[in-house]
Structure 1
Amino acid sequence: MIVDPHYLWAFGHAIVLVNSAYVMLQTLLFRTPVRAYRMVYVGALLSYAIVVLKSLGKPRGVNWLRRAFVDENFQYGLLALYWLISKPINITILPFATFSLFHCATFLRTNILPKFYASARCASKLTSSKTSGPNAQPNWAESLGRRIQSWVKGHYDSAMNFVSYAELVIFARVLLGGLTFQNSFVAPIFFAHFLRLRYHQSTFTKNAIDGITGRIDGVVAKQGAGVQNAWGTAKRVIRTWGGGNLVGNSNRAQARPAAQGAGAAAAGGAQARATGVNTGAAGTANRR
């Protein structure tokens, strides 16, 4: 039996969502459920692998790798693989859980609920024939679909902002963990390169980094000349390493988030790849 890749993609996100909920619950109890944590990234790899294969095709040579490394879904898939084989750090699941929440909601609206539309209409008509117009029962499937669409559209940008700041918190966590030997020092280096790519591809990440930079600028401005010079030097080094304005000028006007991102997510993945499978990171083509 051949399984539709779209359903496998959704299954992967469902694995991420369910196991993320369990990991978060255990985190509140100061526990790390290793098996559930690993399953989060197994599910993520399943979903991202399907999207990458459909968008880029089978791996073939250097040109494929070049296209893959600038593909957002490949980047997140590679990150998921790194977290899978590394020492568990619970906070790292937050971006993946957020993306999967939106993908699962959209999949439910566009692929599951429509199967109930016909039966729901029949039930609604039967009920309407026995009651007056104002008291007729609504079509529950279509009503739920509209609510999901409205929720996704209304919360998409705020969720992507949350993810961008969460990724900065994750970097701070792995950097501190590297300095205190709680995790490999490779982790902050790897994640710093990931954030570098995100900065150049994501309006949300760019705004988050610029916002944090502006706040630090405000604090440093009240300090002595030595602190100001040290911060200025640090920004120049980071900017040079980033290949541009990685740590931007705090006076620069920030670009607005991609407003169409919410519309793409609400539409069930208008940015879907060849088979209609949504991009791997909750509309990342618009988010990033």
Structure 2
Amino acid sequence: MELRQLEHFVAVASEKHFGNAALDLRMSQSGLSASIRALESELGVGLFVRSTRHVALTPAGAALLPEAQALLAGAGAAKAAVNAASGELGGVVRVGTESCPGVVKLANELAVFREHHPRVEMRLRVDGSGPLLTQVANGRVDAAIVVPTEAAPASIELSPLGREPLVVLSHRSRPFVQRGHVAIDNLADETFVDFQEGASSRVLTARAFEERGLAYRPDLEVNDVHTLLDLIDVNLGIAIVPQAIARKRAVDFAATPISHPMPVWEVCVAVRVGANPATRALRDQLRAQAVGVPEAVEELTPVD
């Protein structure tokens, strides 16, 4: 049994899909399937139940998963310790991020990190905060920029980086823009644009509606920021988003404050307890850039 085979096994178990796991591992799907079959042959048991649409762990696979994750984490920690002893960080840091979290300019931070630690290889993926926290917990991601909406697993350390208000993003022609603020109750009949289920902004918006005894049902569902902005730009709907998204393209947009308390968009960096030295170095760099809570919704200006 090789560490490489265990890495392949954990990838398929995490993604629940051979194709997605192969992309993540940067290898062919046929090569990944062959590796899993060889591991199953060596162990003498099936590790996955396969169908055309679904991949699930067998009882044997479920038993192997935590052991495989522990072995891989140990191997990574050993390599990182050797690199640290040589006086220079190395290895791989797999970074995840919520789409457009704001607070931290991740691309700039990764560039600075690469400049200071050229031997560290970086990988990046974009996902919702819930899936990213799961991936940090199971070892598929080392550090993630997230906006938690539930308690994180005990195996994860969360470091706050900053907060931003949630605002109503709309075309400037909307009547409530002229009033300078708006109540959730007055938005119940509006057409909403929002991200897919599980996105942190959608979870927090739905929670705010529920607290007011209102149902929240977005009519226009998107999976990227640019489509959301395009729909608002042509006045097809409005959205409740962190101000970071409102800054993206501000020429015809208005960010209107909400006139009663709202859930806070709090951006954190998540790492596993006992993370390797390179991951801790990136976390510490991000924490050094932490910002506070804006006192008010700022006037929008275009961002290049």
Q: Tell me the TM-score range normalised by the shorter chain.
A: under 0.3
TM-score by length of structure 2 reads: 0.26
Return the structure number with greater strand share.
Answer: 2
Return the structure number with greater helix share.
Answer: 1
TM-score by length of structure 1 reads: 0.27
